[in-house]
Amino acid sequence: MPQEDTTLLADPKVWISIISVVLATWSAFNSWRSRQIATRALAISESQEQRRRPQFGIYLANGFRRHLTNRQLFGFLISVSNPTDINNSIVKAELRVTYVLDGEIKNTCRVSHDPALAGTVSCSNVGTANVFSLPTRIDAHQTLAGWLVFALDHAIISERTIDSHTIILEDSHGVFSETEPLLVRDWTNETPKN
């Protein structure tokens, strides 16, 4: 029997088969690794492509609402970040107000940011220095902070109940970035007691 084994190993055909199996296994391993590398490369290029898609990140730092005779004033201190690899611009900022009609049907209206309101007495707390003047440039990986001020005439929503408000920013590619529904603090004129 040991003699037969020796003869088997001495046979070159056996060695050729063994080498073929080893090479085939090696090739299979290599192709598996190549596939893994290709998948990772695809994921990286997809994430790079994703970073080239225009979008804004909006963070709300502060917000208020003030009731006046004929209108309501809304002020939002926000920071807008551009996490993408492309330069962009904020073209338009709007407040999207959803209110309830009869029969639980909701209606939505949009009010544009009006920087001129920041200088008025009713908005004295906002000041004029930090108010967004649109359109404004926002480069890649840059963040801007400032106030957005909106005036909603009573004639528009009359006595209806406001359901939610969100801020919408439109960029130069026509892409909209929207916040979650915002909560605002109501500001009233109060005289401090001394």
Partner 1 sequence: MKHQRIEDAVRHPYEARPVRIVADAAVSSRGVLGGRLVPLLILDTSDRPDIEELIRVHQTSKNPGDVKIQWARLQGHEDSVALFVTFIRPSEATIVLEFEIVKQGILVEQALIGRAIYIQAGREGDRLIEDPNRPKVLFEIGDTGFTKDWDSMCHKHLARYFRSKGLGRAEAKRAARATIVERRKIGSFRMPDPDMADSQQQES
CB of 173 to partner 1, least distance (A): 16
CB of 106 to partner 1, least distance (A): 8
Who's near 163: CB < 8 A, 6+ residues apart?
98, 99, 100, 106
Residue 82 or 152: the one with the smaller Cβ distance to partner 1 is: 152
- CA separation, residue 7 to residues 2, 3, 16, 32, 106 (Å): 9, 6, 15, 37, 90
Report d(CA 169, CA 140) in Å as an integer.
16
Our finding on whether 173 is near partner 1 (CB under 8 A) is no
Q: Which of residues 126-165 bind partner 1 (CB under 8 A)?
A: 153, 155-156
CB of 98 to partner 1, least distance (A): 9
Residue 112 or 125: the one with the smaller Cβ distance to partner 1 is: 112
What does the per-residue mask of binding to partner 1 show for 54-93, with x meaning CB under 8 A? ----------------------------------------
What are residue 142's phi and psi, to 5 degrees? -105, 155
| Token pair recorded at residue 182 | 């915002």
CB of 108 to partner 1, least distance (A): 4
Report d(CA 164, CA 109) in Å as an integer.
11
Q: Are the C-beta atoms of residues 74 and 187 closer than 8 Å to each other? A: no
Residue 105 or 183: the one with the smaller Cβ distance to partner 1 is: 105
Q: Which of residues 88-127 bind partner 1 (CB under 8 A)?
A: 94, 96, 101-103, 105-112
Tell me the residue ranges of DSSP E strands in 39-141: 57-67, 71-81, 88-100, 106-112, 136-138
Residue 123 or 152: the one with the smaller Cβ distance to partner 1 is: 152
Q: Are the C-beta atoms of residues 96 and 168 closer than 8 Å to each other? A: yes
Report d(CA 58, CA 187) in Å as an integer.
23
Residue 129 or 155: the one with the smaller Cβ distance to partner 1 is: 155
| Interface positions with partner 1 (CB under 8 A) | 94, 96, 101-103, 105-112, 153, 155-156
